[in-house]
Amino acid sequence: MARIDLSGTGVSRGFGIGPARVYQPKTVARVRSKIPSTDFESEQGRLDDALAASRLQLEQLISRQKPDNKTAVNILKMHQALLDDPGLFGAAREEIEKKSISAEAAVNWALRNAHQQFSKISGDKFRERIRDIQDVGKRVLNNLMGVLGGSLAELKEPVILLAHDLAPSDTASLPPELVLGFATEVGGPTSHTAILARSLQIPAVVGVSNLMQQVEDGDLIIVNGFTGEIIIHPETKTEALYREAQDEFIRQERYYATLSSLPSVTVDGHPVMLLANIELASEIRSVHNSGAEGIGLYRTEYLFMGRSSLPSEEEQYQAYRNAAESMKKRPVVIRTLDIGGDKFSHALSMPEELNPFLGWRAVRFCLQNIDIFRTQLRAILRASVHGDVSLLYPLISGVGELRQINTVLAEVKSDLEQEGIPYNPGIKVGGMIEVPSAVMMVEQMAGELDFFSIGTNDLIQYTLAVDRGNARIAHLYQPLHPAVLKMIREVVRVGHEHNIPVDVCGEMASDPLCTLILLALGVERFSMSPVAIPNIKALLRHLRMDQARALGERVVEIPTAEQVMDYATRVGRRLVPDFPWEQTKIAR
């Protein structure tokens, strides 16, 4: 049959080659709506039974995860927590009595209500929360109506799984030994489905338009988790080339594994610090396995998400202490609450905003919710005696705002001293440089901070006025735009002049081509997803720093992002010819 080429977004590295298995989950039939008003207790009992069955199913899914797959366990536990959310199924229970409707109708109402609330707010995290709620809601509805699961449990031989969508719980149930790869018509790189694919090390592509119309069970499929390519009915020659690439990828992964205990140093002996970004304490194991030198960004807002009440000071302290002790005196940079924007918590009263990324978020929120902020600062300071803990403020826009925050920090330190509670009085304090105004004021902020951390994701978005979640203008989101590179160069210049460390903790840090350019601009500390560290370390250990720095003098003078990418790619291939540059996200 004729070859068919499709494309989407690669979200989990690797190549999958094998026969297609089209997944069509069973759907919930139309539900009855009205019930006699006297039957509401019976319907509430049915809902309670369905919730109990859903909890048990999720617990069974959790028990089937491998011991080191904490990512899947935490996502499934978050789904369990949603079952107890008073704003979701608690509200559905009340609707049964209030409107004399069936349990199924009440759950559907609650799901629609949640969808309406979250869909008003832009951002990948909000879209993903909708998918989590729909996944849990579908499970409850299936249990209410006695609908059994789909065909995933029936897999008997290795396949490439194809679906319109895979819910997070579907993905968590996949047997990695039988699923060679998967592709879906919807989804994005930050979705829980994508995160789970990476944790299970299954090559995956999402966002493939018209996929289900082009494929049938048994068709030979190639999934390229790097580029997002899907090939249906590949020619024999193409299949052979991809099997060679698959073998080479496996060889590379084995080689990267040997680097975990080796230092991240260039050929000419220049050390470069590679740190890890984490969101959950359970990811600390992957930090150790990756060979990271510490935690460069601990995103604390995830302690506040997926729950109906705020975490206590003690709960936060234990989480931060665990991270500090687990790192055994290696750096742990804890970012204060960056709620708002694309991160939302039921436990906090966050207003609807037309543009939340320009609204009430991060330190702006904290300065108007001092009690919440002080509680977190107390917990971080208490944890600082258990390791090399630093404090990082997000979304700083200028010196005045920075001084307000430091005043609160000084007050919290004073309170701890009066209470006789130990903390590290010399804890280092850093600021995230992710707003153009912060770049313009970085010279003045140098006297107020111990280190700078460049958050490239927001810096690019704010500098170029581009919402990367908007498909119509996503092509304008250009990490290698000359304006972005000049801003990074300025921050590095000021940092070097004032002997202040500068690190990059956005997505640019995990892309080899961007890393090459950032090194050329003088960045010497990088923080990234643990999974990206072996690849970046391999690049560093085959690179001469003196040659890389010569690139920096040229890239800031090139007028377009496309030209920067082409020039840097040519230089990269010349400096490190054996490196797999075709796998870089920016350069492909």
CA–chain centroid gap for 517, Å, is 23
Distance CA 207, CA 185 (A): 5
Task: Single out the residue of 353, 279, 346 nearest to residue 89, CA to CA.
Answer: 346
Token pair 């250990």: residue: 541
Query: Tokens standing for 169?
Result: 């719980």
CB 415 within 8 A of CB 408: no
Cβ count near 563 (within 10 Å): 13
Residues 6+ apart with CB under 8 A from 317: 378, 379, 382, 383
Strands, DSSP E only, in 8-80? Answer: 9-12, 15-22
Distance CA 362, CA 204 (A): 33
192, 346, 386, 481: the active-site residue: 192
386, 481, 505, 514: the active-site residue: 505
Q: What is the DSSP string of 371-388?
A: HHHHHHHHHHHHHGGGTE
Cβ count near 146 (within 10 Å): 7
Give me the residues paired with residue 20 across strands: 160
Helix, strand, coil percentages (3-state) for the chain, rounded to 5, are 50, 15, 35
Distance CA 130, CA 128 (A): 5
Distance CA 275, CA 300 (A): 17
Task: Give per-residue burial for 120-137: e unless 16+ CB within 10 Å, then b.
Answer: ebbbebbbbbbbbbebbb
Active site residue 514: no
Active site residue 192: yes
Query: Tokens standing for 163?
Result: 């679906």
The residues that are catalytic are: 192, 505
